[in-house]
Structure formats: C-alpha cells, structure tokens
C-alpha cells in the first residue's frame, strides 16, 4: 500500500476533537516499537496507565484497533500514528509485524475466510479444543486479576467517600476504565468511564454513584462465585462485563416462530458505537429485544415500524427475560396491528420490573406497556412532564418529545409502550384511534 497523505489521515477522523487530540500526540516522545509493512502500521503509545496502548492499523480495509478505552473509531492514538507514518517520522518499514499487530491481522483474516467459506457453503474448520481451553484459561486469569484490582478500587472509593470522588478529574475515571479494558472487562469500563461525566453533570450524582458502586461491588462478588450461578445468571453477568456471544452460536439454536409485533424501537449514541433496540412481542406474549450496533460513521439496520407484524422466526441469546434476540431469517411484513395489546398500571409495571431485577440485578431498562395513561405537562419550575394512570400513579418522562406526545394524545388516555429506566419512562410508541404511532 502507498503511504497516505496527512489529508487522507484527517479524513478518517470521526470529529474535529479527535483531530486536535491526535495532532498533539503525533510526535515520537510517547511512542515506541512503531513499524509498518505493506498492509499494516503498528506501535505502542504511553498513556496515563503503566501499560502502553497497542495500536494496529490495516491499511487495506482500512481497519483500526487500539487497546485504549476510547469509544471513537478510529481513536486519537490511531490517527496520531498514521500522521507520523504519513510524515515519515515514525513507523519505519519492517518485514515482521509486532506480535500484537500480527495476531490482530491473523484474527481478521481468519474471520474473513470463515465468512467467505460459509458464503460458499463449505464446512467450517474444526477448532482445536486444547487451544480453545488455553485461550479461555488465559482470559479468565486476566479477568480475575482485573476484578481483584477493581474490588480494591471500590474499597478505596468507599473509604475516602463519594464526595471525594466528585473532585477527581476525568482522567482518574478513564485510568480505571483503561485497566478494566486491559483486563477484558469492557462492559464495566464503559460504566466507569460514563460515571466520570455523571458525577459532574447530574443533580442526583450522589444517589447515582452510590447505586452504581453497590452494583459494581455485587458484580465482583458474583464473578468470584460464578461457578455456582445458573446458566441464565452467568449469561447476564457475562453480558454486563462485555463478554459477548457470537451470533453464529445463536443461529443454530431453536427459534421461536412469529408473527412478532413491533412494540417500539430506540436509537442511542453509545460513544464509539451507535445502538438500536427493537422490542418485539410474540404470539404467546414473549417479549424480546433485537439489538443492532454499528461504529460511528456507519449505518444501522433500517428500523422496523412500530405496530408492524413481522413474519419471521427469532433466535434468542442466553440470559433471563426479556432476552436479546436476532432474526433467524428474512423478515416479511404482514401489515399493521391496530393496537399494542393489553397493558398494565404504573404500579403493576414497577412490580414487573422489580421481579425482573430480582432475577437479573444488572439490567438498566425494562419494557413496559401502560394502559390508559394521560400525558401530564410539567408544573412550573419542573422539566420533562409525566404520564399518569387512572389510579393517579405517575411516572416522569425521559427523553420524551413532550409537544408531540400532547398533540398525539390530545389530553385523552392512551396506551403507551416504553422503556422504564431509573424510575422514568422513555415513550417509544402510542396506540391512538386504532393506529400505532411513534412520538
């Protein structure tokens, strides 16, 4: 591959902030073991932690990998290394790539080959059980050490007090998140990194941090006793830690037939990833969520229309209900449903959430279908608004277009589907006059 120009490197940046950060890092000082060959550029960048970040770039794809906790894609380290390479200031040409870059490239090539083989209908190569067991043992050892380190960090957090935590800079939270990433615990790393912003930006930061810290401590204890957990409990714990399950492993499991009703969908920006959650209910009342993710700058799957009936089977990931699912074949629309089905009161929704949290204490959101609720504007000095049922129980709204909700409901009771999260409901669809609409 020919050497890139600086202009081409900057075109790959996700935003201007990444460009500015990369230009500060694009100097030999923090870098070591840089190199390049026909298709790869690699190097190590010393960050705030003890272990340098490992940066690998595939010029042909292009594709990027960095062991830093950044959610941006490519991150500032990859951009900085490319800038130095483009200027000829680092990454001198070598025949043999660094071990970490070679391993990453081999993994990518193997994945591409397996995908191509499946496309040709060829049987897949059998994995070496001994090698698999060795890799699993190495990962578990790394995760155990990371959990022990995280438990010590939590103990120090409790000893010094939550007020002291609020005075810490963002780098303090990011350093802890970086160690969790190094320990193969990216799910926990995301939560710790987000807490750095939450403690400075939320009015209820103390309650939020106390809740999260208690949950994090419970995670460390649950991991220590993982051999005694049920398969569903272990699957939920693995999902929280960021230990994913390959979709190929799910495709061969038993599927549930349709038709499936689309209750609602929501898109969110999770940093370096875009996420789309689509909630479905099957003919027997089973509720599942189809999760689509994509890196920044790439397109997500086209969202399904709320109220649509889909003729498709779904395969479910392991875990407790409501479980994550994936479509097990082509989706064929059957038309639109006139309503969302039977709903519950606010009190019943809280009771259902409490039961679900009792089975899986790690969940952040729970699907709710509320029957006959009114949209209530906020009182003077309040923000957001409410939804109230016929008994007078109410829920505050979260991320809700209040004007659209009021216009669609007209002040009358409506059935509403949404996500219950931290005591607030995020509306995703309404049943109004025999039609399901999205606010």
What Å distances lie between residue 384 and 267, 270, 378, 381, 399, CA to CA?
19, 22, 6, 10, 8
Cα 360 to Cα 232: distance, rounded to the nearest angstrom: 9
Give the Cα separation of 174 and 190 in Å (integer): 9
Confidence at residue 387, expressed as pLDDT on a 0 to 100 scale: 94
User: What DSSP string runs through 212-272?
Assistant: HHHHHHHHHHHHHTGGGS-HHHHHHHHHHHT----HHHHHTSPEEP--EEEEEEEEEE-SS
pLDDT of the residue at 301: 77
Residue whose tokens read 């370096």 = 272
- Of 425, 343, 432, 351, the closest CA to residue 387 belongs to 425
Can you tell me the distance from the alpha carbon of 314 to that of 263, in angstroms, rounded to the nearest whole number? 15
User: How far is the C-alpha of 198 from the C-alpha of 403, rounded, in Å?
Assistant: 27
Cβ(428)–Cβ(419) below 8 Å: yes
The angle that helices 231-241 and 205-224 make with each other, rounded to 10 degrees, is 130
pLDDT of residue 118: 56
pLDDT average per 10 residues of sequence, the chain (439 residues): 81 88 91 86 86 88 84 88 86 72 81 61 61 84 93 95 92 90 88 91 92 95 94 92 81 84 87 82 94 73 88 92 89 91 93 90 92 90 86 90 91 94 92 91
Give pTM, 2 decimals: 0.71
């Amino acid at each position: 591959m020919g050497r890139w120009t600086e202009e081409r490197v900057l075109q790959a940046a996700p935003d201007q902030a990444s460009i500015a950060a990369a230009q500060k890092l694009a100097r030999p000082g923090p870098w070591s073991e840089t190199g390049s060959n026909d298709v790869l550029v690699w190097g190590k960048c010393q960050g705030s932690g003890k272990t340098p970040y490992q940066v690998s770039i595939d010029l042909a794809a292009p594709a990027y990998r960095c062991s830093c906790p950044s959610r941006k894609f490519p991150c500032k380290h990859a951009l900085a290394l490319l800038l130095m390479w483009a200027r000829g200031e680092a990454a001198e040409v070598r025949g043999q790539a660094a071990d970490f870059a070679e391993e990453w490239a081999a993994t990518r090539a193997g994945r591409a080959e397996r995908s191509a083989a499946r496309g040709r209908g060829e049987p897949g190569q059998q994995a070496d059980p001994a090698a698999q067991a060795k890799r699993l043992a190495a990962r578990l050892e790394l995760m155990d050490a990371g959990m022990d380190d995280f438990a010590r960090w939590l103990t120090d957090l409790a000893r010094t007090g939550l007020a002291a935590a609020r005075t810490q800079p963002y780098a303090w939270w990011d350093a802890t998140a970086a160690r969790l990433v190094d320990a193969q615990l990216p799910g926990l790393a995301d939560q710790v990194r987000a807490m750095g912003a939450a403690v400075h930006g939320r009015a209820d930061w103390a309650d939020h941090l106390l809740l999260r810290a208690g949950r994090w401590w419970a995670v460390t204890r649950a991991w220590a006793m993982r051999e005694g957990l049920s398969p569903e409990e272990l699957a939920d714990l693995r999902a929280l830690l960021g230990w994913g399950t390959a979709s190929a492993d799910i495709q061969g499991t038993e599927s549930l037939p349709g038709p499936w009703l689309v209750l609602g969908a929501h898109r969110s920006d999770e940093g370096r990833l875009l996420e789309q959650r689509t909630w479905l209910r099957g003919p027997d009342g089973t509720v599942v969520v189809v999760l689509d993710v994509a890196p920044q700058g790439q397109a997500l799957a086209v969202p399904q229309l709320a109220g649509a009936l889909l003729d498709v089977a779904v395969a479910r990931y392991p875990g407790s209900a409501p479980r994550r699912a994936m479509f097990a074949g082509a989706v064929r629309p059957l038309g639109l449903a006139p309503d969302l089905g039977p709903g519950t009161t606010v009190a019943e929704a809280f009771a259902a959430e409490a039961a679900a949290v009792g089975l899986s204490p790690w969940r952040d959101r729970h699907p709710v279908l509320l029957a006959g609720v009114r949209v209530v504007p906020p009182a003077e000095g309040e923000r957001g608004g409410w939804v109230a049922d016929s008994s007078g129980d109410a829920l505050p709204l979260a991320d809700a277009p209040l004007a659209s909700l009021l216009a669609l409901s007209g002040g009358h009771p409506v059935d509403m589907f949404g996500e219950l999260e931290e005591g607030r409901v995020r509306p995703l669809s309404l049943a109004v006059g025999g039609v399901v609409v999205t606010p």
